[in-house]
Amino acid sequence: MSGRTWTVVKFVEEDTVEAVPTTWLVGNLCYWPPYPREKLVTAIKNFEAPNTHWPSHKMEIFRNGTFDDEIKRIKKQYVFLTNIMADMKTDLTEIKSTLSTKVLHSAEESFFLKFSFPINDEATLETVESYLIIDENFQNAVPELANIGGHNVYDFVKRAMTFLVTNKFASKYSFLGRKQKGSFSILKLSELLIKAANHSKKADRKEVEEAISKWLRRANERKGQ
């Protein structure tokens, strides 16, 4: 254990704080293993050696600390994340309840009743995309999705994406298709989210795109919960 230190860093892009092994830091970047949350916590606790093939993210250093100091904080954060997952399940229940009472169209026309959400495979995604290519279908789906609601733009995106796609499937995408992932931005589903957010929250395109990108970045961690 001697010589091991953990550093508390703030990830600039996502505005989140994490305690990581100091060896994961290079300049203003932090290597971040693409693990599910439970495996990630183990990697941090065990001071796993960094791998240059891991994604790297811009960060700011808060402070350094010993293992005992930081593992206590990690445990607290793990409990916090567990609570977040419980909240997400509650959100999904509320979303389904909201949609059941606020569907704007008949059962035959409803976007949400035509497919088995959340999407978990390419075949279903292709079917949904083919449906949304038709302008009338797309325009009808916008107010339906907008009804999901949320406290702010990111909360709306989180609630909508939780309903539309699984974390496992979402982990195969990034917004712009970087890091050998599929590009979510080229999908009609992405455009639907942007239009619905504007309809619900009067949000501009850039704000919604940033929210989608942020949600997608952490899908790989959430799928292990």
Q: For residue 24, what is the enclosing H or E element? A: none
Position 94 in a domain: no
Q: Which residues pair with 119 in a beta bridge?
A: 165
Q: Are residues 15 and 65 in the same domain?
A: yes
Q: Are residues 68 and 166 in the same domain?
A: no
Please give the structure tokens belonging to residue 210.
């940033």
Please give the structure tokens belonging to residue 179.
């890091």
Query: Of 59, 75, 91, which residue is a domain's last?
Result: 75
Position 195 in a domain: yes
The bridge status of strand 16-21 relative to strand 29-31 is unpaired
Cis peptide before 118 (omega within 30 of 0): yes
pTM of the model as a whole:
0.56
Position 30 in a domain: yes
Mean pLDDT score, 82-108: 59
Position 87 in a domain: no
User: What's the pLDDT score for residue 79?
Assistant: 64
Q: Are residues 70 and 112 in the same domain?
A: no
Position 83 in a domain: no
Greater confidence, 165 or 218? 165
Q: Are residues 218 and 108 in the same domain?
A: yes
User: What's the pLDDT score for residue 207?
Assistant: 93
How many domains does the chain contain in total? Answer: 2
The bridge status of strand 56-65 relative to strand 29-31 is antiparallel
Band of residue 105 on the pLDDT scale cut at 50, 70, 90: very low
Position 39 in a domain: yes
CA 62, 64, 65, 66 torsion-angle sign: positive
Q: Is the pLDDT of residue 67 over 90?
A: no
Q: Are residues 71 and 118 in the same domain?
A: no
- Give the whole-number percent of the chain exceeding pLDDT 90: 50
User: What's the pLDDT score for residue 104?
Assistant: 47
Q: Are residues 143 and 214 in the same domain?
A: yes
Q: Are residues 196 and 136 in the same domain?
A: yes
Q: Are residues 66 and 16 in the same domain?
A: yes
Max CA separation in the chain (angstroms): 66
Query: Of 58, 75, 92, which residue is a domain's last?
Result: 75
Phi (first) and psi of residue 15, to 5 degrees: 55, 45
Position 90 in a domain: no
Band of residue 153 on the pLDDT scale cut at 50, 70, 90: very high
Q: Are residues 50 and 10 in the same domain?
A: yes
Band of residue 168 on the pLDDT scale cut at 50, 70, 90: very high
Rounded mean pLDDT of the chain?
83
Structural contact between residues 166 and 206, judged by C-beta atoms closer than 8 angstroms? no
User: What's the pLDDT score for residue 25?
Assistant: 94
Q: Which domain holds residue 131?
A: 103-222
Q: Is the pLDDT of residue 1 over 80?
A: no
Greater confidence, 105 or 83? 83
User: What's the pLDDT score for residue 15?
Assistant: 76
Greater confidence, 35 or 191? 191
pLDDT tens, 27-51?
999 999 988 888 888 999 899 999 9
Band of residue 97 on the pLDDT scale cut at 50, 70, 90: low
User: What's the pLDDT score for residue 200?
Assistant: 85
Indicate the burial class of 179 (C-beta count within 10 angstroms; 0-12, 13-18, 19 or more). exposed
Q: Are residues 25 and 113 in the same domain?
A: no
Helices vs strands, H then E, count in the chain: 10, 7
Q: Are residues 53 and 134 in the same domain?
A: no
Position 96 in a domain: no
Greater confidence, 222 or 24? 24
